[in-house]
Amino acid sequence: MPQFHKLEINKTEWEVPERYQMLTPVGSDTTSGCKVAIKKLARPFQSAVHAKRTYRELRMLKHMNHENVIGLLDVFHPSTSLEDFQHVYLVTHLMGADLNNIVRTQKLSDDHVQFLVYQILRGLKYIHSAGIIHRDLKPSNIAVNEDCELKILDFGLARPTENEMTGYVATRWYRAPEIMLNWMHYNQTVDIWSVGCIMAELLTGRTLFPGTDRILYNRGLQKAKTDIHQLNLIMEVLGTPRDEFMQKISSESVSLHRSINSSSRALWYTHRGNSEQNNVSRDIDHLTRVLVLCGTPTEETLSKITSQEARNYIQSLPPLKKKNFKEVFRGANPLAIELLELMLELDAEKRITAEQALAHPYLAQYADPTDEPVSLPYDQSFEDMELPVEKWKELVYHEVVNFVPQQQMLPADTA
């Protein structure tokens, strides 16, 4: 059992093995000399939902073994037994800046964009091959070191592909339209949409679909206005969805009504629950932004939306023609624009996959199918289990005490 020492970080008590020093602001492993990132899980066993989420994140991180995906270097707890087991600490590589910092501080060359997008897709191919959807890809969840080497971070929202996909998951600016339209069984291409939004941001230095955050007295109204604005942004680029697309919307819980004048649109809706009502309104705002860029969905696409109310809303909008991406991204590499259009495809069934995107000519100078590995099978059978907190806690405890780092994950001087 290692010796632990206590310290306070951001007004929170941490208890870590003595090998980890200088934890403010950056931790250092004195055994390896390697700078590391240590994450203390917040309230890991507060409820059965929290405990299962803790187990899921730990299992996923332990499984990941890829150059472009964050993996687990160490996991520890200061407890001496299962009975007093309360805290979980995860140790990963320290990567430095994230893409959000980079986009805000420097203009990227086309070569840089190619290399970064290639690495994102290379990591995503690996994640998807394990049957996992990340669900929260955004610039702040993608870390880059000084050599422009990239890792995908944060599997807190990730889920296996087979799971029923509901709820509001990805950060709204990078959220695929099918999530907002409440498809129950969306697939891995929700991550590809997010990559498209990120790639557009790398090319332009600006968020592609920035929602509004109006400061309103009523919190629910604030959320509703934000969703409406976000949807408007999407529709400005992609255009109004066509009937075929509308039929793919599955939500039956929202009734939407629209009125339009020369300067503004007003949206009213009824819903049985205030929380869902507010989220739906924000999503409508975001979806509208998407459609303004991408145009009105075709009838074929609308047919895949099963919610009549959502279809009614899109059909009530004036027809929107898809914008010319060459004009929107003026000056960008034509191959980059071509790849963007394949990623920002409204119909998820027609959207390009990570593996297909890696073979696109835009990434040809980096692509190497022999060095784009897939994952070993990932055991996700626990996802169907409904257990009490104490049982999940026991499972987490055994994962922690039996952890053995993969050799590939170790720093060179410790392997």
* Catalytic (active site) residue 136: yes
User: Residue 36 in contact with residue 110, Cβ under 8 Å?
Assistant: no
Q: Which H helix or E strand runs over 227?
A: helix 219-235
In 45-204, which ranges are E strands?
74-76, 89-93, 97-98, 132-133, 142-144, 150-152, 159-160
Gap between the Cα atoms of 114 and 130, Å rounded: 25
In the chain, count H helices and then E strands: 14, 17
Gap between the Cα atoms of 114 and 276, Å rounded: 39
User: Residue 347 in contact with residue 245, Cβ under 8 Å?
Assistant: yes
Gap between the Cα atoms of 350 and 177, Å rounded: 13
User: Residue 100 in contact with residue 89, Cβ under 8 Å?
Assistant: no
Which residue type occupies 91? V
User: Of residues 136, 154, 227, 243, which has the active-site annotation?
Assistant: 136
Q: Which residues are catalytic?
A: 136
